[in-house]
Amino acid sequence: MREPVHQAQRKVWRNGALSEGARLIPEETALALTYNGGTYAVMMGTPEDLGDFAVGFSLSEGVVQSADEIETLDIVELDNGIELRMWLKSEKAERLAERRRHIAGPTGCGLCGIDSIAEAVRPAAIVSAGRAFTPREIMAAVATVPPLQEINHQTRAVHAAAFWTKTGGIVALREDVGRHNALDKLAGALARDKVATSEGMVLLTSRVSVEMVQKTAAIGAPLLVAVSAPTALAVKMADAAGITLAAIARSDGFEIFTHPERVAGAVAGKESAYVVVA
C-alpha cells in the first residue's frame, strides 16, 4: 500500500542563499469508492486509514445508516489510484441504484458532483442533547490535537479531525490532505469501534463549512469545535441540527455560535456569538 508521506528533492531560496535537500510532503492519491461493482465517487486523499474513510464516507453520504450494512470491504491498489470496493446488503444495493451519482472530487471538496441544490443543503440529522462541557475541558481538548498529528508533524500540510471525551481524552484522530476526508475517516473509526458519540466532541483543525456540520451531525456529536471560523450556512445548519458550534479556538478562548447551553458559564443573550476567554 502507498505510504502517506513522500520524500521530495527540492532547492530552497531563503535569506539570499540557495540550498538543496529533501523534504517530506503528503501523498495525494485518487480514491475510488465503489458499491456492488459501480463507482459512486472518486476523491483525492491521503492513502492512510482507508477502511475508516470508506465506512465514514458511506455513513455521511447516507449510502448506509450503519457500518453493519456493508457486507464486505476490500482495499485494492491500482496503477493510478486505490479502489475502496464495498458490497452492500441487497436492500441497500437496490436503494443505492436508484440514487447513484458520480462525483469527481478534488482535494478538499465536500459537495462536488451533487446534482441538485436541495441535496447540497439537505437538513442535517438532529443530534441528542448529549453532554455539557466546561470551557477548560474544551480548551484542553483542542490543545491535545497538535501533538498527535503525526503526518502533519512531518509535512505541515494536512488537516486533522479528532474525537474527545471526558473519560478517554482523544479517542480517535485521523489526518488527510482533505478536511472532509479527515472527518469521514474519523466517522468511520468511531462507527467501527462503536463509540458512544453523544458523550464527546468533534475537533477540527480547519474551517467549518456546511458539509462539515452535516458530517458531524451524521456522527451524532453534540459539540463541534474548530480552530477557524464557520460560514454563515454552517452556523444556520448547526443551529437547526442542535449542535453546539464553537470556533476560532485559541489558547485564550473560543467563540460559541450556536446552542451555548452545553458550555458551562455561557449565558444566552442577543449576540450571535458568545466569546469565552480563559
| Helix runs in 103-149, H state only | 117-120, 135-144
Nearest to 163, CA basis, from 221, 123, 113, 227:
221
Burial classification of residue 205, based on how many CB atoms lie within 10 Å of its CB (0-12 exposed, 13-18 middle, 19 or more buried): buried
Please name which of 128, 122, 133, 127 lies closest in space to residue 256, comparing C-alpha atoms.
Answer: 133
CA 184, CA 171: separation in Å to the nearest integer? 15
CA distance 151 to 275: 32
Half-sphere exposure of 159 (CA within 13 A, CB side): 25
**Could you tell me which of 100, 6, 84 has the C-alpha nearest to residue 52?**
84
The four Cα atoms 228, 232, 237, 243 give a dihedral, to 10 degrees, of: 40
Positions annotated as catalytic residues are: 109
Could you tell me the three cell numbers for 186?
474519523
pLDDT for position 130? 86
The pLDDT, as a whole number, for residue 270 is: 43
Could you tell me if 223 and 127 are in contact, meaning their C-beta atoms sit under 8 angstroms apart? Answer: no
The per-residue pLDDT string of the chain (278 residues; one tens digit each, 9 = 90 and over) reads: 789 999 999 999 999 999 999 999 999 999 999 999 999 999 999 999 999 999 999 999 889 999 999 999 999 999 999 999 999 988 777 777 666 655 556 666 765 655 555 666 677 889 998 899 999 999 999 999 999 999 999 999 999 999 999 999 999 999 999 999 999 999 999 999 999 999 999 999 999 999 999 999 999 999 999 999 999 999 999 999 999 999 999 999 999 999 999 999 875 544 456 676 65
